[in-house]
Amino acid sequence: MAIYVRKPDGSYVQLLDPNIFEQDATNYYWTIKDSSITLSKLAFKTMVLEAYAEGNGTSVMFSNTTVSDGSYMIVIEANSTIGVHLYINGNTTSSDYYSQELEADGSSVSASRFNNAYIAYYTQSAVIFLQRSKAGYPLAFSLVPAGTSGTIEVRPYAWSYNSTVSDITKIQLTFSSTVNYRAYLYKIKI
């Protein structure tokens, strides 16, 4: 079985050559068939692209997710500066979420806490890590690069949901304005 990935220009490239890699039928991990190849197997065992979405709009929804047995990494790219809300399991009531932001700009550092679902603000790209804690609370962390010519800002965000859940079955990202976007959802097996 050959696996292909669609590139932004619409063409396809073979991701894992079946002559070199094989998939474990139980855990769905990719391993290297040829023991003489010394690449680290860890990269293939821990992260798998689950879904990819691109379009023009104000939100993207990933359904049929299962966070109870691992976590997710979400990568967002947009064509203009946006704020991003992260909602789970169909609950878009912003006050059911909390977020904490740190902002480092030059030599100044500030912190803010919000009673809303913000996971990224004023950015064109973000990397979000989403997991369910052992106590059942959904938690997320994001890294957001920001800045303009000669100015660099670092903005990490922490995010939480107010209630426990048995699983996270839907992940929704809502943008502050209509943008062209790409969103990648990676499953991380621990």
Task: Give the tokens for residue 4.
Answer: 């292909």
Pairwise CA distance, residues 71 & 140, whole Å: 10
Half-sphere exposure for 130 (CA within 13 Å, toward CB)? 31
The predicted structure's pLDDT at residue 38: 45
| SS3 state of residue 117 | coil
pLDDT at residue 34 tops 60: no
**Residues in a beta bridge with 11:** none
Task: Give the tokens for residue 67.
Answer: 């966070």
pLDDT at residue 5 tops 60: no
What ranges do the domains of the chain cover? 1-39, 47-189
Q: Which position has the higher pLDDT, 131 or 65?
A: 131
The predicted structure's pLDDT at residue 6: 53
What does the mean pLDDT of the chain come to? Answer: 79
pLDDT tens-digit series, residues 41-95: 334 346 677 888 888 999 999 988 887 767 888 999 888 888 899 999 999 999 9
Mean pLDDT: which of 26-30, 43-47, 179-183 is highest?
A: 179-183
Q: Which position has the higher pLDDT, 141 or 26?
A: 141
- Given pLDDT bands bounded at 50, 70 and 90, which one contains residue 171? very high
pLDDT at residue 160 tops 60: yes
Q: Which CATH architecture has domain 47-189?
A: Sandwich (2.60)
pLDDT at residue 15 tops 60: no
Q: Is the pTM of this model over 0.85?
A: no
Task: Give the tokens for residue 37.
Answer: 């190849």
